[in-house]
A and B are shown apart, each in its own frame.
Chain A
Amino acid sequence: MTDRTKNDHAKDVPNAAAYVGGTKLDTSHLELETPEHPYLDSNELIINMGPQHPATHGVLRVILKLDGEKVLGTECVIGYLHRGVEKIAENRTYTMFNPYVDRMDYVAAVSNGLGYCQAVEKLLNVEAPPRANYIRVILTELNRIASHQLWLGTHALDIGAMTPLFYTFRDREEILKIFEKYCGARLTTHAFRIGGCLYETYAGFEKEVKSFLKFVAPKIDEYEALLTTNRIWLERTKNVGTISAADAIALGVTGPVLRASGVKWDIRKAIPYANYADFDFEIPTGENGDTYDRYLVRMVEMRQSLRIIEQAVNGIPEGPIMAKVPKVIKPAVGEIYHSIEAPKGELGYFIVSDGSTQPYRLRVRPPSFVNLQALDVMVRGMLVADVVAVIGTLDIVLGEVDR
């Protein structure tokens, strides 16, 4: 089992021991409970945002309690996309279950696959060969960029800027083309196998990735030109959906949302997996924890991903891509928790093995689901328009929330 207190990164977290080391958290300031009859105002309005609503990114249903336009409280109703992924895992072999994880966060399918494969590898005590790790890093970081591009487009669309959506989709297309050439699928890639990769890179893979890096760097500047200094964008995102570092940690929020609140927590650095330790990159953090900071953090993350990909593609070694894995995967009895830094935050897999070919229990810690908890804290006292902005900035994927 991973022991969080022992990692080197803990020193980056302010007062990390208090939050991570098992001390009881003080949540009294959060006011997470909705009081019984908090408001005597006769103008209270309850509206149902979703499950069919253009801004809830799928089938999220948010019950909003409004005073005019002011949000008094929210309640998320989820489960409209529940497919029982965790239960399915108990009836499939380890290998058979691998494609299912792609259907959780379907805009970052590669990351999901990586987390699952590494978790099972950990359970089996095998290590993927270096070349496989490099390929994994390249594809995962490409996927991070694609996920952030999709987030940016839809987030901007929610706030009313239609145009960035088409720009980001144009550029995301190039990433999907690389995926398609590599493994034949664009969205639910199933790129990795337990123990490494199934496919060797196609001819010209490095060249294409390099040309993509050259292609996309100015495009990110282009998105920023559209939004970063746009006055309306600033007004709509600054001081909207603010969440403090303490609240974010108490709620278990991870990923860019946590980092925008000023906590330098990134599993790629904190508990390096694959071969992230070999690469030189920075973890962007914000200061205010508002929507604008989250936007900036994600923009910098895209650039940092480009850096990682560049280093990886230049240093990719020759060698095997598959470790020695038994034909029938039968891990020893035991349990394992492994987490990676998915585009949306900490994606963890907790697998209990009873020694058979199928997991006894598989539990996913989806970043979207956990981050969604912060919605209520972030939008209390804000306006309806901010709810939309905050749902966008949390970057949830309902496939992952509901599983």
Chain B
Amino acid sequence: MNPAMNVGAAPVATPWFFYGLAAAAVISGLLVITRRNAVHSALALIITLLSVAGLYLMLYAPFVAGVQIIVYAGGIMVLFLFVIMLVSIERASKERQFNRIWPVGLVASCALLALFLSAFAKGKALLPDRMMQLPESTNTQQIAAMLYGDAGKMGQYTFTFEIASLLLLVAILGAVIMTKKKI
């Protein structure tokens, strides 16, 4: 409750936590794209998502972390698992797993990674070597102020927020119509 209490204490932000979470995220990300069985992939993806939620917490973004857990791990992944169970996967897991152009995809992606890394190496000096201390305890309130506005005036992202809700509505309608028996 007391904002002064938290800032600076930051007991969890030790490097080890970062390396552990990052390793978990990347390794299970690797499992996501290599598993034969889609349920295993989904479980690995859940681990990735939770690790990324942990990274958000380390970045003083608890609200985003909470949203990540609720929406991603609790919602979207359950949807994924649900669909995997609906479509029989026994046959899919016995078939060829990679498409014919997989070498092209792999090379392109590796090139992309090389591009990223070279950009990081070049631009390292440009990145400010600082991590701002964001006030964790008022994070939610600040996000709310930006989304909905503060004390009578419109928030910066109110309009965007409404558009996002419209997008969700369209997605709901689309999903419902798609899954109807007769299209």
Partners in one complex: yes
**Min CB–CB distance A301 → chain B (angstroms):** 43
Taking CB atoms, residues of chain A closer than 8 Å to B87 are: 42
A42 to B87, CA, bound (A): 8
Which residue from chain B places its CB closest to the CB of A68 in the assembled complex?
B86
Closest residue of chain B to A41 (Cβ to Cβ) is B181
Residue B14 lies at the interface, judged by CB distance under 8 Å to chain A: no
Question: Which residues of A have CB within 8 Å of B86?
Answer: 43
Interface of B, helix, strand, loop or mixed by DSSP: loop
Interface residues on A, range: under 10
Shortest Cβ gap from A46 to chain B (Å): 13
Determine if B88 is an interface residue (Cβ-Cβ < 8 Å): yes
* Contact partners of A43 in chain B: CB under 8 A: 86
CA–CA, A315 and B88, complex, Å = 69
A42 — which chain B residues lie within 8 A by C-beta?
Answer: 87-88
What CA separation (Å) do A43 and B88 show in the bound complex?
8
Complexed CA–CA distance, A42 and B85 (Å): 12
Mask, A17-47, CB within 8 Å of B = 1, is 0000000000000000000000000110000
Give chain A residues whose Cβ lies under 8 Å from the Cβ of B88: 42
**Interface SS majority for chain A:** loop
Closest A residue, CB atoms, query B87: A42
Q: Mark B69-86, 1 if CB is under 8 A from A, else 0.
A: 000000000000000001
From A45, which residue of chain B is reached at the shortest CB distance?
B88
Q: B15 to nearest A CB, angstroms?
A: 49
Per-position contact with B for A146-184: 1 when CB-CB < 8 Å, else 0? 000000000000000000000000000000000000000
CB A70 to nearest CB in B, in angstroms, measures 12
Given the complex of chains A and B, what is the CA–CA distance between A42 and B88 in angstroms?
A: 9
Question: In B38-89, which residues have CB < 8 Å from any A CB?
Answer: 86-88
Report the minimal beta-carbon distance from B83 to chain A, rounded to whole angstroms: 12
User: Chain B nearest CB: distance from A338 CB in Å?
Assistant: 53
Nearest CB in chain A to that of B181: its residue: A41
What is the CB-to-nearest-CB distance from B85 to chain A, in angstroms, rounded to a whole number? 10
Closest Cβ of chain A to B133, distance in Å, is 52
| Complex alpha-carbon distance, A1 and B89, angstroms | 61
Q: Which A318-332 residues sit within 8 Å CB-CB of chain B?
A: none
Within residues 42 to 60 of chain A, which ones have a CB less than 8 A from any CB in chain B? 42-43
Distance between B82 CB and nearest chain A CB, rounded to angstroms: 12
Chain A nearest CB, measured from B170 CB (Å): 26
CB distance from A44 to the nearest CB of B (A): 10
Q: Which residue from chain A places its CB closest to the CB of B88 in the assembled complex?
A: A42
In the assembled complex, the Cα of A43 lies from the Cα of B85 at a distance in Å of: 10
Expressed in whole angstroms, the minimum distance between the Cβ of A66 and any Cβ of chain B is 13
A116 to B100 Cα, complex, angstroms: 76
Contacts of B75-110 to chain A: CB distance below 8 A? 86-88
Which residue of the partner chain A has the closest CB to B86?
A43
Q: Mark B127-160, 1 if CB is under 8 A from A, else 0.
A: 0000000000000000000000000000000000
CB distance from B90 to the nearest CB of A (A): 13
> How many Å from the CB of A38 to the closest CB on chain B?
15
Report the minimal beta-carbon distance from A167 to chain B, rounded to whole angstroms: 40
A43–B87 Cα gap in the complex (Å)? 8
A42 to B86, CA, bound (A): 9
CB distance from B84 to the nearest CB of A (A): 13
Q: Which residues of chain A from 247 to 272 have any CB-CB distance to chain B below 8 Å in the complex?
A: none
Q: How far is the CB of A321 from chain B (nearest CB, A)?
A: 66
Assembled-state Cα–Cα distance A43/B86 (Å): 7
Bound-state Cα–Cα, A64 to B137, Å: 55
The smallest beta-carbon distance between B139 and chain A, in angstroms, is 42
Write the nearest CB–CB distance from B159 to chain A, whole angstroms. Answer: 41
Measured CB to CB, the closest approach of chain A to B51, in angstroms, equals 34
Query: Complex formed: what's the CA distance from A194 to B87 in Å?
Result: 63
Measured CB to CB, the closest approach of chain A to B6, in angstroms, equals 48
Q: Give min CB distance, B158 to chain A, whole Å.
A: 41
Nearest Cβ distance between residue A1 and chain B, in whole angstroms?
53
Min C-beta distance of A68 to chain B, whole Å = 9
* Cα separation A36 to B11 with both chains bound (whole Å): 68
Bound Cα distance A288, B87 (Å): 39
Least distance between B91 CB and chain A CB atoms (Å): 11
A121 to B163, CA, bound (A): 86
Q: How far is the CB of B149 from chain A (nearest CB, A)?
A: 44
**3 tightest A-B CB contacts, nearest first:** A43-B86, A42-B88, A42-B87
Q: Which residues of B contact A (CB under 8 A)?
A: 86-88
A-B contact pairs, 3 of them (CB 8 A): A42-B87, A42-B88, A43-B86
